[in-house]
Amino acid sequence: MASCILLLAFLLLTDSQTSRLSSKNPKDVKADDFFFSGLDTPGDTANKVGSNVTLVNVEKIAGLNTLGISLARIDFTPYGLNPPHIHPRATEILTVLEGSLYVGFVTSNPDNRLFAKVINEGDVFVFPQGLIHFQFNYGTKNAVAIAAMGSQNPGVITVANAVFGSKPPISRDVLAKAFQADKKTIDWLQA
Amino acid sequence: MASCILLLAFLLLTDSQTSRLSSKNPKDVKADDFFFSGLDTPGDTANKVGSNVTLVNVEKIAGLNTLGISLARIDFTPYGLNPPHIHPRATEILTVLEGSLYVGFVTSNPDNRLFAKVINEGDVFVFPQGLIHFQFNYGTKNAVAIAAMGSQNPGVITVANAVFGSKPPISRDVLAKAFQADKKTIDWLQA
Amino acid sequence: MASCILLLAFLLLTDSQTSRLSSKNPKDVKADDFFFSGLDTPGDTANKVGSNVTLVNVEKIAGLNTLGISLARIDFTPYGLNPPHIHPRATEILTVLEGSLYVGFVTSNPDNRLFAKVINEGDVFVFPQGLIHFQFNYGTKNAVAIAAMGSQNPGVITVANAVFGSKPPISRDVLAKAFQADKKTIDWLQA
Amino acid sequence: MASCILLLAFLLLTDSQTSRLSSKNPKDVKADDFFFSGLDTPGDTANKVGSNVTLVNVEKIAGLNTLGISLARIDFTPYGLNPPHIHPRATEILTVLEGSLYVGFVTSNPDNRLFAKVINEGDVFVFPQGLIHFQFNYGTKNAVAIAAMGSQNPGVITVANAVFGSKPPISRDVLAKAFQADKKTIDWLQA
Amino acid sequence: MASCILLLAFLLLTDSQTSRLSSKNPKDVKADDFFFSGLDTPGDTANKVGSNVTLVNVEKIAGLNTLGISLARIDFTPYGLNPPHIHPRATEILTVLEGSLYVGFVTSNPDNRLFAKVINEGDVFVFPQGLIHFQFNYGTKNAVAIAAMGSQNPGVITVANAVFGSKPPISRDVLAKAFQADKKTIDWLQA
Amino acid sequence: MASCILLLAFLLLTDSQTSRLSSKNPKDVKADDFFFSGLDTPGDTANKVGSNVTLVNVEKIAGLNTLGISLARIDFTPYGLNPPHIHPRATEILTVLEGSLYVGFVTSNPDNRLFAKVINEGDVFVFPQGLIHFQFNYGTKNAVAIAAMGSQNPGVITVANAVFGSKPPISRDVLAKAFQADKKTIDWLQA
């Protein structure tokens, strides 16, 4: 297998091709290893937040391995929200295909400044790596966006889920103090 | 100015924020520094190859500085071609919004394998960094694609232009030998 | 100034020495440019969360520029909390000098697993880059920890502050939907 | 094998020693793993372009793994050409040992500027990463150069071969349009 | 195993999780994989130099893999010395917990400037990557420091050991010339 | 000047072109900015160690800026030595043009293994980043080598000079203990 790794590195692109493709004989690599189908299909937005992300990362296109980029389609119902979240390993650049979105990110301490804007079809917005950001469909029609991220596996941390929905839960004491809230509110948010 | 550089690095994201934004007082940074408008407008394809690339890189969005990503819209007339080219500093991931494209890339020596495929609306294809690739609209309708690249300034080398259209021209002797062609053919290609 | 940049790069260490030190004549660089004093002094924990972080980053030691590391002292009163936060640009490794801490981090979607543990004097724990983490002093005595981060400017996003305390505030609609809470709860958390 | 990987990383140099050497017990690593013999031997230039590259990369010296550099000897007959090519992953720095060379590279769009020069024994020239470049022996004697590249596996894309000699071939329609040539010329260049 | 590698990358943090943890089913990863115990225990300083380094790197905490940081405790007897050494892959930032240390580093050619200083409890000092540095306890009490390094496996080259104590030894001729010393002195230093 | 920086980045190659060239109007960049002359001239070896390094780094070729590579010619008299040294920022790959060299490097703690070999014309040897290494001309004729390093500014730390010849000197106490030598020997080595 070691020679496969090396051969593939020659056939293709990078110095450190390490997982998926590398377990394949380079002669067997084909165009489909660089291909994914389905971004024209709206994601299922029948959920509590009214949005859906279809992420095309190295899990979906093995040929992305070591190449440091991925793509996503985001669908929004009216009032649908891609809730405040973080990509721990990637900056995101997004363009609106349909509808309007209120988008924003918040900078780090001590300022916690919100940079936000309503963007429309054909507009582009950037969310720097590791910062909390969101997209909200204020409109009365569906909205669709395409986003690219600078990692083959950017990761997504939805703040509300990670903080109030982790398994096992973070202790009530911690959350009550962090959010300066009483424990009933925390219990309720965790539920 | 040195203190501006530093302050901005705190306000925003990166360790090495060096040009555009860094010459700005961080208090003056605003949402529009992360924004671009116009990707819904088709590019002008009235040219010899019948295609047009609208590139949104750090020139267009100053806030992309040091963030390592950019976005583009590519328009094609029927039989329009985004001719064989290279991004010296970026992998590209592309999705088709309208129409069909015959796309491909060629691997390096000694194999020079062509990985090519016809892709349709909603399909995604990856072009690894530094490899020669192209997109061709075989269809009878316009085609539109969105592409993301893993650099704030990916660079574009259109092979035909760089080889046969450089200023000043590469010597005829070099090109005739490289392409194993007579000098008249080279003269003609250079013209 | 260009020649200063270059000279300093020769005198010291890195290829891309760009801000603070670089505006200094390399002959004027001295040991104090690599020095900071005061980590033996407890930080002021008389605040709502009962903790304080004294961060020694490139703002405090100009010589850290381009070197990708920083250090911090964290003080905790009894029941003091370093609330859930993120370093967008750094992994953290922490050791306890005095007392006991309940520490943890939460992984990204879809699992949101909490990895948590009570750690004592001399114990070491790692918080991977970009993940939400916290440290809580369950004990009845003060606690002290030393933490190192893999960036000269790691950044800190305190989740509660960024989400509920940004300036200007994130819209109530967004937060109510994100946390599946009624707007009164959101108003209350924002206050 | 996992423990071998780790031990080797300690014995030697890098954080991510992943292939060749890593499958070896570190106790068995020896000086010959960092050694190659034969750069004093002229390469075989009896070919259509009259040049030959002897590349010493990680394939030839397993110990180069993860170290990001390689070396080559290039031989030229009189009028020999190292035809226009690209290293997708490396900048090249070259020095002439014998003879004279006309060398150059072409910048990216929109300028496509040719930076070219005749260089002689002891001269050094730089070809930036991913740009099309060439070396041509105008002289009537053999020429020899040593080149270093900033990757353990820089890759080589010979433009003429990749464009007109890929397997399978790129469609005639694409090439005719790209080079603004009639299909007969393309057929002829592909042959 | 390939799928384990990939799954773990999703569960946790990085694009290139390659060794230790990657051979583990991600479901089996637990908090202890990010934990080490024992930095409160003084290292054994009963040796010729009167110092001891307890290094917590990826060997001790498997979860540090790919995360680029490590931590150490350094103990010194009175007049104990952490002798001149180099970390080939890491910058170091150090703080004194007890006692006083005379610390310094030497810059590269041609200046070989010594940047040195006596530092006390709570002081912090930085040693840039790859430069020769040392810490010496001038005092009459024990001293203790905590140091962080910007690599999960920084490596340590103790100059005296590497130069005069390598196995097999470097030839006497080389060392005599390098240190402009007679061979008897070299023999004596090697012994 | 900010716009110059940006324009140059487009004209040439990289995302972070920061010093020399960047202070130049891109229209004024010319082939000579990528050129150096003189590696065919032997360096002056009339010194105590009988060797000379002619280094072609970013100081000599401004166009190397951000490109991460440099080249050197090393001349040796009979019994000439390039004494034990370190490149803190670069791996080195070397080939012998004339003569024979005894070359080697020493690994880090705890093994301090010497990997050494006599190499001849046309042989290639690799010295991994940050490790102590040397080249010695055992022969009775001059020797010449070409070496490439993976940094535009690799840095050189000659161990004997940095340890025994720093300005100001490292304290005798430190060196005596480090080398387990009496202070007279240290005084003598420092002189």
3 state DSSP class of C35: strand
Question: Is D59 in Cβ contact with A15 (below 8 Å)?
Answer: no
From F62's Cα to the closest Cα of chain D, the distance in A is: 10
Touching pair A, B by Cβ (3+ pairs < 8 Å): yes
Of C19, C88, C151, the CB nearest to B6: C19
Cis peptide before A42 (omega within 30 of 0): no
* Least CB–CB distance from B93: residue in A69, A115, A117: A69
Tell me: the pLDDT tens digits for C160-186? 999 999 999 999 999 999 999 998 999
Percentage above 70 pLDDT, chain B:
87
Residue D191 pLDDT grade (very low, low, confident, very high; cuts 50, 70, 90): confident
Kindly report the nearest CA distance between residue F101 and chain D, in angstroms.
13
Q: Mean pLDDT throughout E50-59?
A: 96
pLDDT of residue E23: 55
CA B60 to CA E190: how far, in whole Å?
62
Q: Say if residue E70's pLDDT is above 80.
A: yes
Per-residue pLDDT band for D25 (boundaries 50, 70, 90) equals confident
* Average pLDDT score over residue span E19-36: 77
Interatomic CA distance for residues A176 and A180, integer angstroms = 6
Chains F and C touch (3+ CB pairs under 8 A): yes
How close B65 comes to chain C (CA, Å)? Answer: 15
> pLDDT value at position D27?
79
pLDDT digits (tens, 9 = 90+) for B82-97: 999 999 999 999 999 9
Give pTM, 2 decimals: 0.89
Short-list A5, F81, F135, F115, CA closest to D13: F115
Say whether C171 and A89 touch across the interface (CB within 8 A).
Answer: no
Express each pLDDT in D137-165 by its tens digit: 988 999 999 999 999 999 999 999 999 99
CA F173 to chain centre: 30
Chain E residue at shortest CA distance from F179? E160
Instruction: List the structure tokens of B156.
Output: 């574009």
What's chain D's average pLDDT? 87
Which of residues A103 and E28 earns the better pLDDT score?
A: A103
| pLDDT reported for residue A96 | 98
pLDDT for D17 beyond 50: no
User: Which residue in chain B is spatially nearest to A114 when comparing CA positions?
Assistant: B31
Listed as ranges, residues in chain A with pLDDT below 50 are 1-20
pLDDT band with cut points at 50, 70 and 90 for residue B22: low
Q: What pLDDT, on the 0 to 100 scale, is given for residue F116?
A: 97
Quote the pLDDT of residue C191: 79
Query: Which chains would you list as touching A if contact means 3+ CB atom pairs under 8 Å?
Result: B, C, D, E
F16: closest chain B residue by CA? B18
Q: Mark D22-48 as b/e (b = at least 16 C-beta within 10 Å).
A: bebebeebebebbbbeebeeebebeee
pLDDT at residue D23 in the model: 55
Residue C188 — very low, low, confident or very high, per pLDDT cuts 50/70/90?
confident
**Per-residue pLDDT at A150:** 96
ipTM: 0.89
Per-residue pLDDT band for B25 (boundaries 50, 70, 90) equals confident
- CA–CA–CA angle D101, D104, D109 (5° rounding): 170
The minimal CB distance from A20 to the residues E2, E10, E15 is found for E2
In this prediction, what percent of chain E has a pLDDT beyond 90? 77
Q: Could you list the pLDDT tens digit for every one of the 191 residues in chain F?
A: 222 222 233 334 333 333 345 557 777 899 999 999 999 999 999 999 999 999 999 999 999 988 999 999 999 999 999 999 999 989 999 999 999 999 999 999 999 999 999 999 999 999 999 999 999 998 899 999 999 999 999 999 999 999 999 999 999 999 999 999 998 999 888 87
Distance from the E190 Cα atom to the nearest Cα atom in chain A, whole angstroms: 40
> Which pLDDT does position C6 carry in this prediction?
26
Contacts of D111 in chain F (CB under 8 A): 11
- Give the dihedral sign, CA C156/C162/C163/C164: positive
pLDDT per residue as tens digits for the range E151-184 = 999 999 999 999 999 999 999 999 999 999 998 9
A71 and B125 within 8 Å at the Cβ level: the answer is: no
Average pLDDT, chain E: 87
C130-142 pLDDT, tens digit each = 999 999 998 899 9
In chain B, which residue's Cα lies nearest the Cα of D116?
Answer: B170
For B111-135, how does the pLDDT look when each residue is reduced to its tens digit (9 = 90+)? 999 999 999 999 999 999 999 999 9
pLDDT score for A21: 53
Q: How far apart are CA F125 and CA F109, in angstroms?
A: 22
Q: How confident is the model at residue E188 (pLDDT cuts 50, 70, 90)?
A: confident
Asked whether residue B76 carries a pLDDT value surpassing 60, the answer given is yes
Which residues of chain D make contact with F28, given a CB cutoff of 8 A?
Answer: none
Picking from E83, E88, E174, the nearest residue to F129 by CB comes out as E88
pLDDT at E16 over 80: no
CB contact under 8 A, B126 and A68: no
